[in-house]
Every structure is written in C-alpha cells, then in structure tokens.
C-alpha cells in the first residue's frame, strides 16, 4: 500500500480523535502537559491497536472472501465513512455540544473515548487484511497521526472555545476521504473498467 494512501487513511481515522480532542480542549479551557500526554497517548495507542485486531480477524476469514476482498474493503470503508458523515450531521444539529462534566483525560471516561474514537480503525484493519496488506507499518502511522491530531485538537479547542463547527467539518472531511479511498481500491482492482 502506498504511503499516501496510508496517510490518507490515518488522517481520516484521526478525525474522530481530533473532534473529541477539540471538544475536550473547549471544556477544559486550560490544558496541561499531563492532560495532553494522557489523551494523545491513549488515542494513539488505541488507534494503532484496533487495526491490528481487525487485521487478525480478517486473516482468519480471508480464504472465504478472497475473490471479493476489494468489495468487502470498499463496503467497510464506505460504512465507516458514512457513519462519520452521519455523526458530523448530528453534531451540527445538536444544540449543546460542549457540555463539560469532568476532565475527559482521566479514568474510565478517557478509556471509553479511546475505544469509541478507534472503532473505525478495526474495520480498516479488517480491510487491509483482506487486501493482503501488512499491518505493522500502517498501524504505527495510524497511531502516530492520531496522537498528533489529538494534541493539535486539544490545544486548538483551548484556543477557540466557541468554534465547534470546526470539529464537524473535520468529521465530514474524514468521512469523504474514506469513501475516496474505498473507490480507489475498486479502481485499482479494475471494477470501473467494465463500466466504460
């Protein structure tokens, strides 16, 4: 898999973490080094682990879906992308998206957010397995990009407390990128040649 494709996937997957980090930064108003490290470490770690789990699951079912792997990859990426678009629209329609209850960079709240923002990476790992792509390098890139986007989101949220529309547009961009990557997989496997 080409490095630009991996980076595109990593950036798209990082949009959930970015949006949550912005909201967290808006709520916290003041962000310490410890809070930044905790949240970025956990988001990055979970984003790196989930594709490996998905890849492992995919490796066990690969022989059953090998002929349709590019379609399965497209469908998974399209579903994840569509879910991100749906969440962005719901976020846009929510009246109060910045309700602050407690520090989201601690305890079970942080773990739940880490899992929630990395579930999409599980499906991407499954797709990579079906396409017979090695997972270690992409998982590392996905984790690093998620960590960096979390840091940026936290500090951006701290600075722009009133601009929650930015997280909505980040989600929309992430969803569209996953759709484009899915369509590119179909293109590379010659699906569109039969149409023209």
Range of the domain at 90: 3-190
Contact call for residues 123 and 80 (beta carbons, < 8 A): yes
Q: What is the C-alpha radius of gyration for the chain, rounded to an integer number of angstroms?
A: 17
pLDDT for res 92: 62
pLDDT for res 139: 96
Whether 41 maps to a domain, the answer reads yes
- In whole angstroms, what separates CA 153 from the centre of its chain? 14
Whether 129 maps to a domain, the answer reads yes
Whether 195 maps to a domain, the answer reads no
pLDDT for res 135: 93
Whether 97 maps to a domain, the answer reads yes
Sign of the C-alpha dihedral, residues 113, 172, 31, 33? positive
Whether 196 maps to a domain, the answer reads no
pLDDT for res 164: 60
3-class state of residue 108 by DSSP: helix
3-class state of residue 95 by DSSP: coil
pLDDT for res 97: 47
pLDDT for res 114: 87
pTM for this model (two decimals): 0.71
Whether 96 maps to a domain, the answer reads yes
Domain count, the chain: 1
How far is it, in rounded angstroms, from Cα 58 to Cα 61? 5
Whether 48 maps to a domain, the answer reads yes
**Which residues of the chain register pLDDT less than 70?**
62, 65-66, 84, 91-102, 161-168, 170-171, 174, 196
Q: Tokens 């846009």 belong to which residue?
A: 92
DSSP string, 33-53: HHHHHHHHHHHHHHHHHHHHH
Whether 154 maps to a domain, the answer reads yes
Compute how many other C-beta atoms are within 10 angstroms of the C-beta atom of residue 190: 9
């Amino acid at each position: 898999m080409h490095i630009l494709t991996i980076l595109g996937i990593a950036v798209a997957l990082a949009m959930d973490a970015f949006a949550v980090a912005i909201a967290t930064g808006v709520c916290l108003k003041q962000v310490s080094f410890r809070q930044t490290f905790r949240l970025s470490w956990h988001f990055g770690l979970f984003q790196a682990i989930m594709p490996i789990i998905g890849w492992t699951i995919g490796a066990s079912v690969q022989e059953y879906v090998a002929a349709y792997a590019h379609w399965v990859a497209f469908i998974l990426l399209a579903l994840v992308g569509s879910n991100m678009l749906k969440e962005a629209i719901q976020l846009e329609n929510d009246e109060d998206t910045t309700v602050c209850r407690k520090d989201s960079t601690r305890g079970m709240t942080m773990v739940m957010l880490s899992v929630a923002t990395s579930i999409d990476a599980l499906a991407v790992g499954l797709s990579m397995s079906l396409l017979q792509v090695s997972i270690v390098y992409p998982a590392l890139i996905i984790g690093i990009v998620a960590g960096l986007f979390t840091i940026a989101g936290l500090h951006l949220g701290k600075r722009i407390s009133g601009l929650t529309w930015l997280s909505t547009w980040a989600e929309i961009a992430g969803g569209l990128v996953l759709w484009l990557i899915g369509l590119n997989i179909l293109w590379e496997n010659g699906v569109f040649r039969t149409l023209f």
